[in-house]
Structure 1
Amino acid sequence: MMKRLTIILIGILDCGLLFAQKDKKYVQEGNKLYGQKKYAEAEERYRKSLEQSKVSVPGNFNLGDAFYRQKKYDDAVKQFTEIAGDAKDKTLKAGAYHNLGNTLLESKKLKESVEAYKQALINNPKDEETRYNLAYAMEKLKQQENKDKNKDKNKNKDKSKDKDKDKQDKDKQDQDKKNKDENKKDQDKKDNKNNRDKKNQQQDGQSPQPDKLSKEDAERMLEALKNEEKNTQDKLKKKKAGNVKGRIEKDW
């Protein structure tokens, strides 16, 4: 659906209102400049018409149009809102709400523009231009709401991902700490065992135990004992032999 935002411009004879000749002149000049797309100059002429008559309907209404064309949307919203609120004529009120809806739509205020178009149709149900713009604004509003909904959904999804990642990071940190503690315990046990073994080795070097005597050492000790016993026996035999020889009597 293409946008066709038609701005209503009130001519001199619209609404059947009478106003001073100077007002008429400035409004005519303003409308001519407006038609030439010289909106700043048109604004200046409409303001001059209001200096002559503050209640000039064409001057006020078309000044709002000049604001709109210059993208002075805040000024245009204020102008059309005041006209819509003060107008007694339904056609004028519908026109003000129509232009207000266009201004709000350009300002991306979609909900407000929809309400303005609805008010325009209440006052002029046969205005097909307003009906078209209302359908367009409602479609844009629906698209914006769906976009916001998806944005919130993705935001919540991202939050959930971040939460899961934080949990995974915490679990990893806890597991790393647990592994580190277990490795430290294992290392402490290993160090304690090494210290005990080293201490036992030092004690063994200082005080050899009998059960640590090697087989070769034992055999050498036995052999030494045998030799010592043999030497002792030999000495005894020699001593006995000496004693016998001394007791032999002389044969006369």
Structure 2
Amino acid sequence: MKTIQYILIALFLSLCAQAVDAQSDRQFVRNGNKFYREQNYAKAEAEYRKALEKNASNTQAMYNLGCALSRQQKDSAAVTQFETAGKTEKAHLRKAMAYHNIGVICQKRQLYAEAIEAYKESLRHNPNDNATRYNLALCKRLAKKQPPKNNDKNKNDKNKKDNDKKKQQQNKQNPNKNERNEQRQQNGEQMSKDNAEQLLNYAIQEEKATQRRLKQQQRQPQRRRLQKNW
């Protein structure tokens, strides 16, 4: 009897295994959707992965897996799934949704340049999506306010050092030229000072002459002028 019991148990397990194998990728997707609605994202992820094991080209499983990963803060893995879904999917609206989600993740991480490109790609497949268009405009505005990256700052510092080094080398190679430039600069400053003094003296003389004319006019009797009628 025990032997028969063991055989029945083995047969039952075999039938269960066959039933699992018989499940299609769509069934795994439906299971994943059920767990996703229940906010059990880890189990949903597992079901979507099973669906992809059955059918690696199931774009619905790719997209839904990306959503489940994103809910678990697994952003890099989620972006990979959305990119694969966007490239594989043929329906424009679904492609637009995949690239829109990539933009949302990049925007959340303040990767505005990447977010802008993702939103643009989304709008190519669905130009009527106002939410994507709004996010695109917002990212463009935020990108302008974003401070430059350290790489740009280091590049500017390097260029400044290179320019200073070139000037030093030129001064060493042409010391006489450098002296002539300094002498010209000094002469220019001296000429500027002389011109300023001349202009100041001229202004003082003009002011004195104006004061003299005003005093003379005050001494003379004023003449009345008749105003013409209109």
Q: Which TM-score band applies after superposition, normalised by the shorter structure? A: 0.5 to 0.7
Q: Distance in 2 between matches of 1:98 and 1:71?
A: 17
Residue segments in structure 1 that go unaligned for 5+ positions in a row: 1-19, 157-252
Equivalent residue letter for 2:106: L
Q: Distance in 1 between matches of 2:23 and 2:97?
A: 25
Q: Distance in 2 between matches of 1:56 and 1:133?
A: 28
Q: Distance in 2 between matches of 1:115 and 1:130?
A: 11
Residue deviations 1:166-217 (CA, integer Å, cap 9, x gap): xxxxxxxxxxxxxxxxxxxxxxxxxxxxxxxxxxxxxxxxxxxxxxxxxxxx
CA contact (8 A) 2:28 2:50 kept: yes
User: Are residues 1:148 and 2:148 paired?
Assistant: yes
Residue deviations 1:109-163 (CA, integer Å, cap 9, x gap): 110001100110111001112112212222221221xx339xx6xx99xxxxxxx
User: Are residues 1:44 and 2:18 paired?
Assistant: no
CA contact (8 A) 2:62 2:84 kept: no
Equivalent residue letter for 2:89: A
Q: CA deviation at 1:101?
A: 0.8
Aligned to 2:55: 53
Aligned to 1:76: 78
Q: Distance in 1 between matches of 2:31 and 2:138?
A: 34
Q: CA deviation at 1:90?
A: 1.5
Q: Distance in 2 between matches of 1:82 and 1:25?
A: 21
Q: CA deviation at 1:21?
A: 5.7
Q: CA deviation at 1:104?
A: 1.5
Q: Distance in 2 between matches of 1:26 and 1:88?
A: 22
CA contact (8 A) 2:52 2:58 kept: yes
Instruction: Provide the secondary structure at the position in 1 that maps to 2:148.
Output: helix
Residue deviations 1:4-34 (CA, integer Å, cap 9, x gap): xxxxxxxxxxxxxxxx962222212211221
Equivalent residue letter for 2:140: M
Q: Distance in 2 between matches of 1:112 and 1:56?
A: 26
Instruction: Provide the secondary structure at the position in 2 that maps to 1:126.
Output: coil
Instruction: Kindly report which structure 2 residues correspond to 1:1-252, keeping only aligned pairs within 5 A, or say none.
Output: 22-144=24-146, 147-148=147-148
TM (normalized to structure 1)? 0.48
Instruction: Provide the secondary structure at the position in 2 that maps to 1:92.
Output: helix
Q: Distance in 2 between matches of 1:58 and 1:87?
A: 9
TM (normalized to structure 2)? 0.52
Q: Distance in 1 between matches of 2:65 and 2:47?
A: 9
Larger relative contact order (Cα-Cα within 8 Å, sequence gap ≥ 6): 1
Equivalent residue letter for 1:97: Y
Instruction: Provide the secondary structure at the position in 1 that maps to 2:24.
Output: helix
Q: Distance in 1 between matches of 2:138 and 2:42?
A: 29
CA contact (8 A) 1:73 1:107 kept: no
CA contact (8 A) 1:68 1:76 kept: yes
Structure 1 outlier segments of 4+, above 4 Å:
none
Q: Distance in 2 between matches of 1:45 and 1:98?
A: 24
Q: Distance in 1 between matches of 2:138 and 2:30?
A: 33
Q: Distance in 2 between matches of 1:98 and 1:30?
A: 22
